[in-house]
Structure formats: C-alpha cells, structure tokens
Amino acid sequence: MTRKHRRTMLGFIGSKRAISTLLANVLVVTMVVALGTMLFIWTTGVMGTYQGGAGVWFSTRGEVMKERLAIEEVWFTGLDRKNITIYIRNVGANEIKIAAVYVNSTQVWTGTKTLEVGQVDRISLTLTTSWGRGCVTYISVATLRGNVAKGYWQAPF
C-alpha cells in the first residue's frame, strides 16, 4: 500500500465521524420490520399445516374419551392348557370395536368384534404354547380407536 492510501484508511478508521442517529434508527426499524414479516409468514405457514391435523386429532379424542371397556373375567381352560377365554364389557357411552388381543405382549387375536353399550362378549383364544400352572399372564385388549384394557391374571394351579 502506498502512503497516501494508508493515511486515508487510518484516517477513516480513526475518524470521530459516525452516521447520524436518525439514519441509525431508520436502519434498525427497517431490519426489525423485515425480520418480523419473515417470522409472521413462517409461523402462519407452519400453523396452517398443523392446524388441520390438530382439529382432527381433538375431534377423535372426544370420541375416544367416550369409549371404555373392561375385562371382566379370564378363564384358563383346556386339557393341553392352551385355551384362554376373555369376557369383555363395554362400560362407555359409545359402541366399541375390538381390534386385537395381546397375551404377554404378543398379539394372539386380530379381527373386529363390535360391542354395544353395556354388552358383554367373549373372545376365545388358542395359544401356541401352553400356560403354566399358577403363572401370571399379562393380557391387553385394544380397540380400533386406540383404547386399551389390560391387566394381570394368574392361571389356576
């Protein structure tokens, strides 16, 4: 660099002159408005995407809350100790459709069985392995809406 350029650069950096406060305020306000506009456009797009799904979710949750089922009895039967009979009662305000039954977290029955309000029905299961005498078995019954009735039952000795 030449001496002339060095002097002007040092003079610019070391200068006591600055931009006016009015120009600084205008720049800051412009940046805030631009960033606020971008944030508003982004959030309305995101909310618009999720709002439709949230409305469906909340409307189905209302139906799910009206659905209640209870496992009333569990019978362990059969000479080969492979049969379980489950009695299920609809204690909710809506009809329920049973979709699956799990024994010890293994799905052993699928289908659709409809229970009206107050109705009791049974599901008979045939297991691939026999249940042990006195063993504790975890049974859960799931509906199409996602409600689950579950519990532990002990096989007879």
Domains and CATH numbers, the chain: 3-63 (no CATH), 68-154 (2.60.40.10)
Residue 20 has pLDDT above 90, yes or no: no
Confidence of residue 65 (pLDDT cuts 50, 70, 90): confident
- For a pLDDT cut of 90, what percent of the chain falls above it? 59
Alpha carbon distance 27, 130 (integer Å): 79
Q: What is the mean pLDDT of residues 82-94?
A: 94
pLDDT for 86 beyond 60 = yes
Q: Which residue's structure tokens are 């029905």?
A: 121
Residue 24 scores a pLDDT above 90: no
Per-residue pLDDT, averaged over 77-89, amounts to: 93
What mean pLDDT do residues 35-46 have?
86
Residues 6+ apart with CB under 8 A from 131: 76, 81, 82, 84, 137, 155
Whether the pLDDT of residue 83 is over 60: the answer is yes
Average pLDDT over residues 122-148: 92
pTM of the prediction? 0.61
Q: How distant, in Å, are the alpha carbons of 19, 57, 68, 72, 153 from that of 65?
A: 64, 12, 8, 20, 26
